């Protein structure tokens, strides 16, 4: 049992909070660490031009990018890929300017999983974010990258989470964020940390641009048209009169164990037929002619730094992947991820999960890691390079084909036999190698960006630890 005496002045200074969970929290210990700073202390409010949330409004989502703006949830702000998110209607979303994000802001999740931070780069800019994201606009008192690194550190996270309140859904408010103490670090330290955070932001922008270039090159060389919202809607426009679609099914179409109309979508069939270049089935370009998985294993959680880190679908799409640690007992560590593998998120809810059936390229960050058995894993043979196969499966074509072969009610999974029959365009070797190089360079830039951010955050943590050695 933890006990402590709390001065009445401490109760008054924190809105008369008397609950033990607050006064005995890790955040209180961190406050004492920050109080030991050799630098003058100020507050986040004083080093910010503004701290606010977007306006609360009913959200109307659309499928056509011409009528919508990318809309980020509190979990989306952490993702490496910011393109595959929902679109909020331009027409029915009020105060769009108030909800828009700008480069250089610090974004903080304020409900659900509280206190997660992201540094907004050019790919966040001009997208919208929900009211569950706190926007922190830095001023020129402290550098924006330094403020972000401080709040993203373990000390900043503890300070952010100690202010949660709410009976059912925990959350924090901008006013509380503004009250958090922050040292006025010396200029050279600020510069070093800010340079690393800004470099990480630039590398992520460059990485995203390279992946877009790779997909565009693939589509151009394969003579693939751009897919429209009609290609995504299996049942026709939402507001149009629904019509029953009837078509004949050939015997060859049902030899792979399904007669589900969804899996035999006429629109998907026509999309596949529109691929005029040479193709091969996924089976023909995979090592061993099949996919594989990590398999099942006991999951006994242990403290961070012990055992082995397990990465699941929820975490793998974030900029910096953070899994949970489990005991090595019963885990086959000879099945860890190798560079160049392609991983597909193999389980999810079709209507709600934006990551279900999304592809991941195993870069330097994932090498030697343990991933959940729910991932569909694959390695290419000598027919095509791995970066090229990733570019195809990560494209809107590959994603739609994967989504089309799912089965299940609440939790859906792609049908394994149908996955192996997916068409893969075969281009000339030079083009495929160029696309492969773009993908690998892009994912290496992500790795370098993560290293820069981790180094900056660690610098802040080490600086604070120096004050509390004695």
210 located within any domain: no
Establish if 10 belongs to a structural domain: no
Whether residue 289 sits in one domain with residue 189: no
Note whether residue 456 is domain-resident.
Answer: yes
In a domain, 437, yes or no: no
Q: Is the domain of 69 the same as that of 195?
A: yes
- 150 and 289 housed in the same domain: no
> Does 213 map to a domain?
no
Mean pLDDT by 10 residues, the chain (470 residues): 65 62 69 89 96 84 88 91 89 86 95 89 92 94 97 94 62 91 96 98 97 97 84 47 51 55 71 90 96 90 88 90 88 89 88 80 95 95 95 95 86 91 96 98 98 97 86
- Pair (375, 330) in one structural domain: yes
Query: Quick one: pLDDT at residue 306?
Result: 86
The pLDDT of residue 166: 53
For residue 93, give its domain range: 19-204+450-467
How many structural domains comprise the chain? 2
| pLDDT value, residue 351 | 60
For residue 25, the domain's CATH number is 3.90.220.20
Tell me what pLDDT residue 288 has. 94
Q: Are residues 318 and 404 in the same domain?
A: yes
Same domain, 194 and 231: no
3-state SS string over the chain?
CCCCCCCHHHHHHCCCCCCHHHHCCHHHHHHHHHHCCCCCEEECCCCEEEEEECCCCCCCEECCCCCEEEEECCCHHHECCCCCCEEEECCCCCCHHHHECCCCCEEEECECCCCCEEECCCCCCCCEECCCEEEEEECCCCCHHHHHHHHHCHHHHHHHHCCCECCCCCECCHHHHHHCEEECCCHHHHHHHHHHHHHHHHHHHHHHHHHHHHHHHHHHHCCCCCCCHHHHCCCCCCCCCCCCCCCCCCHHHHCCCCCCCCCCCHHHHHHHHCCCCCEEEHHHHEHHHCCECCCCCCCCECCCCCCEEEECHHHHCECCCCCEEECCCCCCHHHCCCCCCEEEECCECCCCCCCCCCEEECCCCCCCCEECCCEEEECECCCCCHHHHHHHHHCHHHHHHHHHCEECCCCEEECHHHHCCCEEECCCHHHHHHHHHHHHHHHHHHHHHHHHHHHHHHHHHHHHHHHCCC
In a domain, 107, yes or no: yes
Residue 187 lies in a domain: yes
Residues 166 and 270 in one domain: no
Assess if residue 12 is contained within a domain.
no
* pLDDT confidence of residue 167: 46
């Amino acid at each position: 049992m933890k006990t402590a005496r709390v001065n009445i002045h401490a109760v008054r200074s924190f809105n008369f909070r008397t609950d033990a969970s607050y006064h005995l929290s890790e955040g209180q210990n961190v406050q004492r660490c920050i109080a030991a700073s050799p630098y003058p202390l100020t507050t986040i409010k004083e080093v910010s031009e503004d701290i606010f949330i977007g306006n609360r409004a009913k959200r109307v989502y659309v499928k056509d990018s011409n009528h919508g703006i990318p809309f980020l949830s509190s979990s989306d702000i952490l993702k490496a890929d910011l393109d595959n998110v929902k679109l909020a209607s331009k027409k029915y979303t009020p105060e769009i300017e108030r909800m828009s994000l700008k480069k250089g802001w610090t974004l903080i999740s304020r409900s659900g999983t509280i206190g997660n931070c992201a540094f907004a780069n050019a790919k966040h800019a001009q997208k919208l974010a929900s009211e569950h994201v706190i926007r922190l606009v830095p001023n020129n008192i402290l550098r924006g990258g330094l403020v972000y690194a401080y709040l993203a550190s373990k000390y900043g996270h503890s300070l952010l989470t100690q202010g949660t309140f709410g009976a059912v859904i925990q959350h924090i408010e901008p006013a509380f964020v503004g009250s958090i103490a922050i040292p006025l670090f010396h200029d050279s330290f600020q510069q070093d940390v800010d340079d690393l955070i800004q470099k990480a932001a630039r590398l992520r922008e460059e990485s995203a641009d390279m992946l877009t270039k790779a997909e565009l090159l693939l589509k151009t060389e394969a003579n693939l048209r751009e897919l429209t919202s009609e290609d995504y809607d299996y049942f026709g426009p939402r507001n149009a009169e629904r019509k029953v679609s009837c078509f004949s099914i050939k015997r060859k179409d049902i030899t792979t164990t399904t007669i589900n109309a969804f899996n035999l979508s006429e629109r998907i069939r026509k999309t596949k037929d529109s691929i005029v270049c040479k193709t091969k089935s996924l089976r023909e370009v995979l090592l061993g002619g099949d996919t594989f998985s990590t398999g099942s294993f006991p999951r006994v959680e242990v403290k961070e730094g012990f055992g082995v880190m397990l990465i699941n679908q929820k975490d793998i799409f974030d900029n910096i992947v953070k899994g949970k640690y489990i005991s090595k007992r019963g885990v086959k560590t000879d099945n860890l991820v190798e560079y160049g593998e392609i991983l597909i998120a193999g389980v999810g809810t079709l209507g709600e999960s934006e990551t279900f059936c999304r592809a991941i390229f195993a870069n330097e960050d994932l090498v030697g890691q343990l991933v959940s058995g729910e991932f569909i894993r694959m390695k290419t043979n000598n027919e095509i390079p791995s970066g090229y196969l990733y570019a195809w499966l990560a494209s809107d074509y590959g994603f739609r084909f994967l989504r089309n072969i799912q089965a299940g009610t609440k939790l859906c999974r792609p049908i394994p036999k149908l996955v192996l029959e997916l068409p893969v365009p075969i281009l000339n070797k030079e083009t495929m190698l160029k696309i492969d190089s773009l993908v690998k360079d892009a994912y290496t830039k992500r790795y370098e960006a993560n290293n820069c951010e981790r180094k900056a955050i660690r610098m802040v943590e080490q600086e604070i630890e120096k004050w509390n050695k004695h």
